[in-house]
Structure 1
Amino acid sequence: MTDEQAYWAAVRTVRLGVADLLDSLTVAEWDAPSLCRGWRVRDVAGHLSSVPTITTWSMMRVGPRAGFNPNRINTVVALRHGSRPADQIVGAIREHASERHVARVLDARNCLFDAIVHSQDIAIPLGREFAVPAAFSREGLERVWAMGWPFNARRRLAGLRLTATDTDWTVGAGPEVAGSALSLLLLLTGRASTVVDSLNGPGVPSLSN
């Protein structure tokens, strides 16, 4: 998406969709494990609720506790926001769904794929479906493939040709791995074991190596 308005409209759509999904969950589902290791569903939701409003300072304050490790800082913040009552978390997601702010240490270009991937981190282990337009997932693929750390997708999946079956996105060279843009986005962000059964092509066996 080269249009900034379209990008943020997509972010808003996914955020509001996640809020609707969360509203449908039972108490037990809120405390169920998500696809993010060590995070409950409510912690993923807490993370999503914090992204539009968190400041660099509030992230740095937990730095010593997290050993100044970015992933641990993210976890501390997620668990803190996830500990709030469910209605407050959902309310915050809805209230700030249109917000374009991100902390200086974050990157606004990550907001869309972050919301998409975390929607699946919530939905998939609960046996729920959360549909994402292929165009939104394609935007996420472009970003994750280009960004390097923390997913290093280009390096991890070197030697494979990745092809989306529902939009015009293909990268790499070698044995093909084909699937929906959403499945490929989950693959690129380190969730291969979750989506491997939805992928096709001669390159798929190498994903489990």
Structure 2
Amino acid sequence: MTVDVFEEIADERRALAEQLAGLTPQQRAARSLCRAWSVHDVVAHLVMPLEVSTPRLVLAVLAAGGRFDRASERVTRRLARRPFAELVEVLAREAGSRFTPPGAGPQAPLVDVLVHGLDIRWPLGLHRDVPAPRLQEALTFLATAPAGLVPKGALTGLRLEADDVGFAHGSGPVVRGTAQALLLAGTGRSAALDSLTGEGAPVLRRRIAPG
């Protein structure tokens, strides 16, 4: 079955926006899995590519000394000043945006919305049944991702196996778990490590959460 990745992204954004609309003020202010960002901050970050044009983002990167991560944090902080409900409305309204980062295909924003959705849901104890083809597409991209998306060397020499969808990739000691847990661990989030099994799980833990 062929996956229309842009349609998958749009559906995932709409589903996330619907879930976000029901959050309490306390949940909106809660700490996410994404560094020091709150849930509100993560939503602002997800809105960034929907509202900030490429020329404006380029200017922000230049102003940040060429560092995209620093520019992203600055733009996110500005967007996070807006009301939460307004950001959620933008996420839903602009869900069909086909923006992709320069040099990347649609799989990059698919992984972005899936992982940041987990950054929000995981600490809040919220659940979502993501369609299996969507998770398979994201994991396949993650397993072969360019530098920057996956912590350097984190997945090298490991075999990833999702026990809830048809996905396996790589060779070496096995890291096994749900597709969503693999997405989190593969992007450097330590919160999902305890739910992973296999001989490769301790290896991955040492790489992304040493000490």
Q: 1:173 to 1:103 in 2, by over 3 A?
A: closer
Q: Does 1:42 align with 2:47?
A: no
Instruction: Find the counterpart in structure 2 of residue 167 from structure 1.
Output: 165
Distance in 2, Cα, partners of 1:105 & 1:85: 32
Distance in 1, Cα, partners of 2:71 & 2:80: 14
Instruction: Find the counterpart in structure 1 of residue 5 from structure 2.
Output: 7
Q: Does 1:198 align with 2:204?
A: no
Q: Is the 8 A contact 1:56 1:105 kept in 2?
A: no
TM-score (norm 2): 0.88
Instruction: Find the counterpart in structure 2 of residue 69 from structure 1.
Output: 67
Deviation (angstroms), 1:60? 2.3
Deviation (angstroms), 1:123? 1.0
TM-score (norm 1): 0.89
List alignment gaps of at least 5 residues for structure 1.
none
List alignment gaps of at least 5 residues for structure 2.
207-211
Q: Does 1:81 align with 2:79?
A: yes
Instruction: Find the counterpart in structure 1 of residue 98 from structure 2.
Output: 100
Distance in 1, Cα, partners of 2:170 & 2:152: 8
Q: Is the 8 A contact 2:150 2:188 kept in 1?
A: no
Distance in 1, Cα, partners of 2:109 & 2:80: 18
Instruction: Find the counterpart in structure 2 of residue 111 from structure 1.
Output: 109
CA displacement, residues 39-74 of structure 1 (integer Å, 9 cap, x when unaligned): 111111011122234212211232354332111111
The number of aligned residues is: 206
CA RMSD of superposed structures (Å) = 2.1
Q: Is the 8 A contact 1:148 1:154 kept in 2?
A: no
What SS is found at the alignment partner of 1:63? helix
Distance in 2, Cα, partners of 1:75 & 1:140: 24
